[in-house]
Structure 1
Amino acid sequence: MPLYTAILVFSILIPFVLSFDRKVSFYKKWKSLLPSTILVGAVYIYFDVLFVRDGVWGFNPEYHSELVIFGLPIEEWLFFMLIPYASIFIHYVLEAYFPNFRISNSAVKMLSWPIILILVAIVALNIDKAYTRFNYILLVLAIIWGLFDKTGILNRYYLSFLVIMIPFFLVNSLLTGTMIEGEVVWYNNAENLGIRWGTIPIEDVGYAFSLMLLNLLAMSQFEKLYKPQKN
């Protein structure tokens, strides 16, 4: 089994098995999660294809399967369904078992607006760096959507993301070359800030944040769509 495949399998295994836990009942979210991962994933995959074409990043064929579609190994396509599944599962586990695990609306605003301003400044100063530009513009848009969302997703997500970061760091460290020869995914540092958290480009943290947040926000919209209308 290729390393990239194994990473995805082990990432999804426990969250999938525990999806049927009575308190969490995450399987009930599948109806809104599936279209969300497809819709949000399509945006990321589109730019993924462009970035591979332009040499912003690429994949080591030694670590993925031979099935490649539009320059992306099949594992990369599955990444945008399986990793959000595992991460959003953590978010809902925390919500189920720790219902007060949230911050206030004022705290959300006090965190969000400075982050947005900092990200805008970083983009303005690094407009020539493709990964930095794409990543932080998308992150700003995701946070702004979260601020205007009425379901309070950001109130929980700012905290749950700190927990999500633990498996994220382990998975991304492997993908970017920790404990292996070479890397599963390589990055062109001319297209990012060149700052690494271990072997992980610092942009990947924002990438993960926006990917999961956009999925949660999309799920919320699909849940409203599926909710029976009152007469």
Structure 2
Amino acid sequence: MKPNYTYFLILAVSFAGPFFLSFDKKVAFYKKWKFVFAAMILPAIFYIIWDSIFATKGVWYFNAEKVIANTYIYNLPLEEILFFFIVPYCCLFVYECILCYFPKLQSNKKADTILLLLGALLLMVGIFTLKLYYTAYTSFFTATFIFFIFLFRKYFSSFNSTAFLVSYVIILIPFLVVNGFLTAIPVITYNDNQNLATRIFTIPVEDIFYGLLLVLMNVVIYEKLQTKKME
């Protein structure tokens, strides 16, 4: 089978903007690369394991005609592995831009409450959708991590919930565009027997919270690593 660079090109185009803008003098994101790359490791491992298990169980499938041939790792195409590094990089860049250009954005009770209510809602969704793997696991994992943050809020005091929420609303636009391409081409196909079969265009609604958890994990670890250096 000839290699196809569809997925790789989508990732490359997504990465290009944030990468080159990382050298902007005001944001100077490149100066924080050591924290960025360190923050990515644990979330990437978690997501690769999760992704691999779900691919094995048929929760989703990858189109072999749209990925580089013979580059599968743990039954995932190479591009899918790269996804869990490229997307967090882009998202952390957006988060850092928000902090840089809107320094007055600070964590407050309203933002914390929104996240906690979201966690409670997702927990209930998970309970009522136990037979739907993608819906249930995404809901439970996201709710659990949100509650974990607030259970140890003093330890994660550097986490700016307001900046995170603002960032994620902005991130959703390119995130939905990228996922729209991936699901419309399709590079990845979802088994609707394992989700709510509710879509935003061609994108399963669960992807919003799948992405939220990925970004949230990276942001929380990224902030904690920076705080530890200053201690």
Give the TM-score taking structure 1 as reference length: 0.91
In structure 2, the partner of 1:206 is 209
Cα distance in 2 between the residues matched to 1:159 and 1:221: 19
Provide TM-score, normalisation by structure 2.
0.91
Match of residue 172 from structure 1: 179
1:123 equivalent among 99, 116, 126: 126
- Aligned match of 1:91 in 88, 95, 102? 95
Shift of 1:63: 0.8
Q: Does 1:80 align with 2:84?
A: yes
Equivalent residue, structure 2, for 1:4: 7
Q: C-alpha distance in 2, partners of 1:8/1:166?
A: 15
Amino acid at match of 1:98: F
Instruction: Report the equivalent of 2:218.
Output: 215
Offset of residue 58 of structure 1: 1.2
- Cα drift, residue 19 of structure 1: 0.5
State how far apart, in whole Å, the 1-side matches of 2:175 and 2:130 are: 27
Distance of 1:104 and 1:38 partners within structure 2: 25
Structure 1 unaligned residues grouped into runs of 5+: none
Shift of 1:120: 1.2
Q: Match for 1:58 among 55, 61, 66?
A: 61
Map Cα deviations across residues 44-101 of structure 1 (whole Å, 9 max, x no partner): 100111111110101001111011111100000000000110111111112111223x
The alpha-carbon deviation at position 104 of structure 1 amounts to: 5.1
Cα distance in 2, alignment partners of residues 223 and 145 from structure 1: 19
Q: Aligned partners of 1:152 and 1:168: how far apart in 2? A: 22
Partner secondary structure for residue 58 of structure 1: strand
Alignment of 1:14-29 (within 5 A): 14-29=17-32
Q: Select 1:13's aligned residue among 11, 16, 33.
A: 16
- CA shift for structure 1 position 151: 1.4
Q: Per-residue displacement from partner, 1:174-215 (whole Å, max 9, x unpaired)?
A: 0011xx3xx101111111111101111001000111101100
What is the DSSP-based 3-state SS (H/G/I as helix, E as strand, rest coil) of the residue aligned with 2:196?
coil
Deviates more, 1:152-161 or 1:107-116: 107-116
- Aligned-partner SS, 2:22: helix
Please, which moves more after superposition, 23-32 or 149-158? 149-158
Aligned mate of 2:144, from 141, 144, 151: 141
Number of paired residues? 223
| Residue in structure 1 matched with residue 49 of structure 2 by the alignment | 46
Measured against aligned partners, the alpha-carbon deviations of 1:119-159 in whole angstroms (never above 9, x if no partner) come to: 11111111111111211111112322443221142121111
CA contact (8 A) 1:146 1:153 kept: no
Matched AA of 1:153? N
- Mapped to 1, the partners of 2:159 and 2:51 lie a distance apart of 30
Which ranges in structure 2 are unaligned for 5 or more consecutive residues? none
Kindly indicate whether the alpha-carbon contact (under 8 Å) linking 1:146 and 1:154 is maintained by their aligned counterparts in 2: no
RMSD, matched Cα:
1.5
Partner amino acid for 1:113?
L
The one-letter code sitting in structure 1 at the alignment partner of 2:123 is V
Give distance in 1, aligned partners of 2:159 and 2:40.
20
For residues 169 and 37 of structure 1, the distance between their equivalents in structure 2, rounded to whole angstroms, comes to: 21
In structure 2, C-alpha distance between the alignment counterparts of 1:56 and 1:167, rounded to whole Å: 24
Q: Does 1:193 align with 2:208?
A: no
Q: Which amino acid letter does the alignment assign opposite residue 204 of structure 2?
A: P
* Conserved 8 A contact 1:37-1:215: yes
Is residue 108 from structure 1 mapped to residue 111 from structure 2 by the alignment? yes
Distance 1:152 1:33 in 2: 15
Classify the secondary structure of the residue corresponding to 1:20.
coil
